[in-house]
Chains A and B, each alone.
Chain A
Amino acid sequence: MSGSGRILGILGQFDGPGALMRAAYGVRDAGYKHFDCHSPFPIHGMDEAMGMRRSPLGWLVGLSAIVGVGGAFLLQWWASTIAYPFVIGGKPYFSFQAYVPISFGVGVLLSAITAVFGMFHLNRLPRLHHPVFYSDRFRAASNDGFFVSIEANEPNFDPAQAEELLRRLGAIHVELLRGE
């Protein structure tokens, strides 16, 4: 049962990681763009099967590492030479060697925060509401189910055609996603 209301997409269930990967190749080759392959664990080689590029997250994290290290270093320089110069143990105000541990720590902290929240942002999370959740069967996707979902905002989306494609690719169950 997939609720009532307008059609939001279509969901096909497959019986294992191998079958899901073959289906991904098939859906991609049929020209679909707005589709996703759901599995309880990441499947290696799936990015290629779906024709996806590498995640840009590495660039974001690299940038924040530079900002973190640089920012912490600048703060330490500014605070100990300009804002609050103070002789401690006869060391020079600008004892840059001593700034390394904190610069490193702040760099790691900012990078880790960027890695996690950047990932959430790229994944559009949190999003508690999504068409796939209209399917009762979809609950298995986090347990032992393997699904392909195609969204209705796909150009020229035709439910009958999509259903036919999924069945041809070996889906063991196909249902339309309907909702508000």
Chain B
Amino acid sequence: MSSQINHTVAAASEPPLILGNPTFGAVSERISAITERKTTRAWYIAFGVALSLLGLFVIMVGYLVYEGIGIWGVNVPTGWGWAIINFVWWVGIGHAGTLISAILFLLRQRWRTSINRFAEAMTLFAVICALMFPALHVGRVWLAYYMFPLPNQMGMWPNWRSPLLWDVFAVSTYFTVSLLFWYVGLVPDLATMRDRATSRLRKFVLGIFSLGWRGGNRQWRHYELAYLLLAGLSTPLVLSVHSVVSTDFCVSLMPGWHTTIFPPYFVAGAIFSGFAMVVTLSIIARKIFGLTDFITARHLDIMSKVMLVTGMMVAYAYTIEFFTAWYSGNLYERFVFLNRATGPYAWGYWTMIFCNIVVPQAFWFKRLRQSIPVLFIASILINVGMWFERFVIVITSLTQDFLPASWDYYKPTMFDIGLFAGSFGLFFTLFLLFIRFLPMIAMAEVKGVLPQADPHHHGPAQKETAAGVHG
């Protein structure tokens, strides 16, 4: 009983997670109604833009498959170019979603319930965008199955010692686990929408996908354990995925890549950019759909603090990289780092420093954390900065490596730019479909954090009788 009392006391001293303390019914109504109303004009306009960009993506991919990766700006020292930059950047975007849904769940951070659903959706779609780039960069896309350990007539197996193969396993596992986690979270909410559905088609489709969920405690107990296990599995997974991505670089011998700080540095950067994307998307969503009671100023405030912390971690990594380059006494290593700050790509380096180190310093100030325009602009700048971080790592090391005779200046072509721009079309098309047809806030979870969801929550008049029943 004492733990229950502590729980109640803690809940009482905490500021409310959901403003206005809606009833359970009001939560279902507010969130489900978004998907049941007539589609708004704003959605159609946004979807039109996203779909045109997706069209661009399809054309770019088609031409790439037809012509080969020679249409990109890749050249002799720079064999990967924008494809790997975009891959690492998109995977990084995805990380905040898993962090919110898994790590914050294990840490009992109840504020996560308002943002986890669309953060997870963001993860899925970002990982889809990310997976496109390594699949396309192999050039002969139709042979991509060589990367899977499939028995074949050549008796050939993939090279298990290659970090690129680790990537195949890490990222495809990450995608599958994120999809399962997301779907499991959706089942009770799909049941809510099924029970509200009026048209036959909606009833049928939602009925199939909610699997006949009855919300019985015999189901909830397995469900909750499954959710906990998935969170426990996703937590090391999310940390390992970007560590594996970083080993693509650090297992090589390139100056500027060959450092042990890469795995934690990449993970911190991924969470940094991922949170920036969650903030960007949630500011838009709460504005358009009037969800300011659900995604409150407090949620944005906490996310800014996370960005401040991870931004400082990234700043620390930049500093230590420089220090190690100097302290190692390795001339090539020293050169690469000095060249990053002063060489032909100094513009990229200083863009990165400004966006990733200077911009998040604004979050020390409560007034700036609570200003929506400041947050919105800062979150976009952070994503730009994180893209430039990967650009600086890939391009400065590759274009000027050990042998000055092979140095070159790398420039993207219109196909590089078109493919990257088009990947936003893929991302936003999927995201807009998601917010149109599925509940963007986890209703069952939000109901669970309302004060009246606690069976020991009673009005003042009932207090004594309640204690007597099963105390």
- The distance from the CB of A146 to the nearest CB of chain B, in whole angstroms, is 9
- The distance from the CB of A13 to the nearest CB of chain B, in whole angstroms, is 13
Interface residues on B, range: 35 or more
B223 A38 Cβ-Cβ under 8 A: no
What string of 1s and 0s marks CB contacts (under 8 Å) between B1-34 and chain A? 0000000000000000000000111001000000
Residues of B within 8 A of A76 (CB): 160
Interface-forming stretch among A2-10, A52-60, A159-167?
A52-60
Number of interface residues of A (CB under 8 A): 73
Interface hits, A49-93 → B, CB 8 Å: 49-50, 52, 54-55, 57-58, 61, 75-76, 79-80, 83-84, 86, 88-89, 91
User: Does B466 belong to the interface (CB within 8 Å)?
Assistant: yes
Task: Give Cα A115–Cα B176 distance, bound, in whole angstroms.
Answer: 13
Q: A75-B149, A129-B212 are in contact. Are A17 and B217 (CB under 8 A)?
A: no
- The distance from the CB of B32 to the nearest CB of chain A, in whole angstroms, is 9
A119 B160 Cβ-Cβ under 8 A: no
Nearest chain-B residue to A37 (Cβ)? B217
- The distance from the CB of B254 to the nearest CB of chain A, in whole angstroms, is 15
User: Does B173 belong to the interface (CB within 8 Å)?
Assistant: yes
B215 A84 Cβ-Cβ under 8 A: no
User: Does B435 belong to the interface (CB within 8 Å)?
Assistant: no
Task: Give Cα A108–Cα B176 distance, bound, in whole angstroms.
Answer: 10
What string of 1s and 0s marks CB contacts (under 8 Å) between B181-224 and chain A? 10110001001101110000000000110011111111111111
User: Does A158 belong to the interface (CB within 8 Å)?
Assistant: no
Residues of A within 8 A of B230 (CB): 112, 115-116
A149 B216 Cβ-Cβ under 8 A: yes
Residues of B within 8 A of A32 (CB): none
Q: Pick the contact of A57 from B194, B214, B222, B247 — CB < 8 Å?
A: B222
User: Does A171 belong to the interface (CB within 8 Å)?
Assistant: no
Task: Give Cα A135–Cα B236 distance, bound, in whole angstroms.
Answer: 44
B212 A130 Cβ-Cβ under 8 A: yes
Nearest chain-A residue to B195 (Cβ)? A139
B155 A52 Cβ-Cβ under 8 A: no
Nearest chain-A residue to B187 (Cβ)? A125
B177 A112 Cβ-Cβ under 8 A: yes
Residues of A within 8 A of B244 (CB): 101
Interface hits, A132-167 → B, CB 8 Å: 132-133, 139-144, 149
A40 B24 Cβ-Cβ under 8 A: yes
B453 A41 Cβ-Cβ under 8 A: yes
Residues of A within 8 A of B444 (CB): 40-42
Task: Give Cα A17–Cα B454 distance, bound, in whole angstroms.
Answer: 7
User: Does B455 belong to the interface (CB within 8 Å)?
Assistant: yes
B180 A113 Cβ-Cβ under 8 A: yes
Task: Give Cα A139–Cα B195 distance, bound, in whole angstroms.
Answer: 5
Of residues A17, A54, A101, which shows the largest number of chain B Cβ atoms within 10 Å of its Cβ? A101
User: Does A174 belong to the interface (CB within 8 Å)?
Assistant: no
Interface hits, B158-175 → A, CB 8 Å: 158-163, 165-166, 169-170, 173
A46 B220 Cβ-Cβ under 8 A: yes
B226 A115 Cβ-Cβ under 8 A: yes
Closest 3 CB pairs of A and B: A119-B226, A144-B24, A36-B216
A-B contact pairs, 13 of them (CB 8 A): A22-B469, A36-B214, A38-B214, A42-B221, A83-B155, A99-B160, A104-B236, A104-B240, A105-B173, A111-B233, A112-B181, A115-B226, A119-B226
